[in-house]
Amino acid sequence: MSDSTLSSRTVLVTGATAGIGYETARQLAERGATVLLHGRTAEDARAASDALIATAGIAGDQLRTYAADFAHLDEVETLAGTVVAEHPHLDVLVNNAGMAAPERHTVTADGNEIAFQVNFLAHYLLTCLLEPALTSDPGGRVVNVSSALHRTGSIQWSDPNRTRRYSRLAAYAQSQLALTVFAADPRVTAVSVHPGVCDTAMLPLYSHEGMSPAEGAAHVVRLCDPAVEIVNGAYYDRDARIEPALAATEDRTVKRLNKLADLLVGRSAA
C-alpha cells in the first residue's frame, strides 16, 4: 500500500477503536493520511493507536487520539473544541461511531433516546462544530457511515425519543435515516455510505454472517479520497451510488431535521 494519495490529508474517524472504524483508520493511515482516532474513552483510543503502530506498521506521528462518550453531548462539544484548536484545517470527518439500540428504551442524561443521540445527534453536533475546520479550505468533506436499514426507518417528529412505542430496530433505523438525511445539509459537502453487512457488533441487526470489516472500510476510505468526486447528499451502497430513501432528498425534511436536531442538542439555530 505505497499509494500516498492521502499524504497531506487530515481525517477524523469517530468510533475508530473497533470494527469498520478501526479498519478505516488503518487504511487511511496506510495511504499516508494523518488520522485522528476517536474512542469512547482515552484508553480505548490509545489502545487502537498502539495496535495500529504495532501490527500495521503505522508511524506514530500519523496518529492522534481523542476521547468522547457520545452519550454525553458536553463531551462531544469538548472534543470538537480540541480538534479545531489542534487542527484548524480538517479534510475529512468520518461519522462512523454507532451502537445498536438497546432492547429496553434508554434515555441519555441529555434527555434523548440513546441510539438517536449516539448515532445521529452527536454526529450532527460534531459536524456543526467542526464546520470552520472542514471549510477552511475548499474540498473538505463528511462521510456518514449509514445503513441500508435507513430505508425501513421513519423519523417520529412528535416523539423522536419513541417513548410511546419503542422497538430497538425502529429506533436504530430512525437514527440511520436521520444520519442519511443530514448528508443533504448544504453547510459541508457530505455523503452517506452503507459499507455492506460486515462482521461487527452490528451484525445481529442484519444477519448471521457478513464480510470482513476491512472490506466494508474500503468503501468508506474510497469516499475520503479527493480523487473521488462526490455530490453533496449522495448515498452509496458499497461503491455504487444509488438513490437513498425519499426523505433524504427532500429539502423540507432536511430543514425540519436540522430544526429538531438543534433543539435536541441545545443549539440555537444559526
Alpha-helical runs (H) found in 122-167: 122-134
Q: Would you give per-residue pLDDT tens digits along the chain (270 residues)? A: 345 578 889 999 999 999 999 999 999 999 999 999 999 999 999 999 999 999 999 999 999 999 999 999 999 999 999 999 999 999 999 999 999 899 999 999 999 999 999 999 999 999 999 999 999 988 999 999 998 889 999 999 999 999 999 999 999 999 999 999 999 999 999 999 988 765 656 556 555 566 777 888 999 999 999 999 999 999 999 899 999 999 999 999 999 999 999 999 998 654
The one catalytic residue in 66, 172, 235, 236 is 172
List CB contacts of 4: < 8 A, sequence separation 6 or more. Answer: 31, 32
Q: What are the phi and psi torsion angles at 149 (to 5°)?
A: -65, -10
Active-site residue, 236 included:
no
Work out the angle at residue 118's Cα, subtended by the Cα atoms of residues 114 and 121, and round it to the nearest 5 degrees: 100
